[in-house]
Structure 1
Amino acid sequence: MSRLEWSDALSLDLPPMDDTHREFVDLLAVADAAADDAIIPAWRTLIAHTQVHFDQEDRWMRETRFAAGNCHTVQHKVVLDVMREGLRRAENGDIAVLRLMAGELAQWFPQHAQSMDAALALHMRRCGLDPLTGEVLNPEALPDAEISSCGSAACTPETRDEATAG
């Protein structure tokens, strides 16, 4: 049984993002439940999906003036790098690492979705970004300068300033 299942708590009320997230959860469950002889192909499928998933969100961030080096984009890169390293190790005989990673991803994903992705979804709605065409329907709502944080409360300049002031 999967350690992560889709629920309304993961929904961000943005169908293209929710659909992609639901597919991620489903593919993670397949990898998590896979027999030893099937886990590597399942992990490859999960990586391929995750690359497209993260590329899509990174494109949405660029289209709405999130900075290229923001922490959300950096987290995407790190997660994919770790997933690929796990695959490399599994291909060299360490299947257990993928089982461990599946559990870690099941814990990481809800936090990521409910913080960084939720902030992105809210920003996209404010800007009126059509996620399918890339058209910004409310360009006056775009920030004047690129957003250098991920947009989550933990990463806003005000929150960082408060944390370091005390």
Structure 2
Amino acid sequence: MALLEWSDALSLDLPCMDDTHREFVDLLACVMEAPDAQLLRAWRQLIAHTEVHFGQEDRWMQATRFATVNCHSMQHKVVLEVMREGLVQGEAGYLQRVRDMAAELGPWFLQHAQSMDAALALHVRSVGFDPLTGVVASPAALPATLIQGCGGSSCSDLPRMASELTHA
């Protein structure tokens, strides 16, 4: 599997999101390149980053009128659960399962960033939400009803993606 690298295809023109995504890409590269003795340490670092990363995006969604249970947040939850299960498998000595999961994370992340995260970045900008302060500059632009979906085209892919990551 080709290593995921930062490129313009991942840039969403939202600096704090792009910085977080760059860090994810860098940490995933560390996992992919780690020797067996360092693999679980690198995987733990990726999980810790991803918890903060997804939590940040989930808070932005809550602040800008996404429903508590929306497909973007649900995808975050499923991917984190799979990553944590990978750690359990790795700690049991199944390092190849961690490597397989890491290989699947690259294509998943590219698709996720270009669909769900791109839709979130567009939404955040459209309502004037400042991710650093949590202030919505244009509250009248917020939707009247809660956003149930993700705004991207990948909602229906969640069960397939979870299955692919789990069976990697």
CA drift of 1:82 comes to: 0.2
Contact 2:72 2:149 in 1 (8 A): yes
Q: What is the rounded CA distance, in whole Å, between the counterparts of 1:78 and 1:154 in structure 2?
A: 14
Is 2:107 the counterpart of 1:107? yes
1:37 and 2:33 matched: no
Moved over 3 A (4+): 153-156
Q: 1:154 to 1:102 in 2, by over 3 A?
A: closer
CA contact (8 A) 1:69 1:148 kept: yes
Q: Tell me what 1:57 maps to.
A: 57
How many residue pairs match? The answer is 156
What's the RMSD between the two structures over aligned residues? Answer: 1.4
Structure 1 equivalent of residue 119 of structure 2? 119
Asked whether the 8 Å contact 1:149–1:155 carries over to 2, the reply is yes
What stretches of structure 2 of length at least 5 have no aligned partner? Answer: 157-168
1:162 alignment partner in structure 2: none
Q: Tell me the TM-score normalized by structure 2.
A: 0.90
Aligned-pair CA distance for 1:152: 1.2
Structure 1 segments unaligned to the other structure (5+ residues): 157-166
Report the Cα offset of residue 2 of structure 1. Answer: 6.2
Question: Whose Rg is larger?
Answer: 1
Is residue 40–residue 91 contact of structure 2 (8 Å, CA) maintained in 1? yes
Letter paired with 1:96: Q
Determine the C-alpha separation between the residues in 2 that align with 1:13 and 1:66.
21
Q: Distance in 2 between matches of 1:155 and 1:93?
A: 34
Measure the CA separation in 2 of the matches of 1:6 and 1:33: 16
> Kindly, what percent of the aligned residue pairs are identical?
66
Alignment check: 8 A CA contact 1:47 1:83 kept: yes
Cα pair 2:116 2:154 within 8 Å, conserved: no
CA deviation after TM superposition for structure 1 residue 3, in Å? 1.1
Aligned to 1:152: 152
Any idea what SS the aligned residue of 1:145 has?
coil
Distance 1:134 1:67 in 2: 17
> Residues 97-123 of structure 1: CA distance to partner in whole angstroms, max 9, x if unpaired?
111011100110010000000000000
Write the distance in 1 (CA, Å) between the matches of 2:155 and 2:89. 33
**Residues 67-78 of structure 1: matches in 2 within 5 Å?**
67-78=67-78
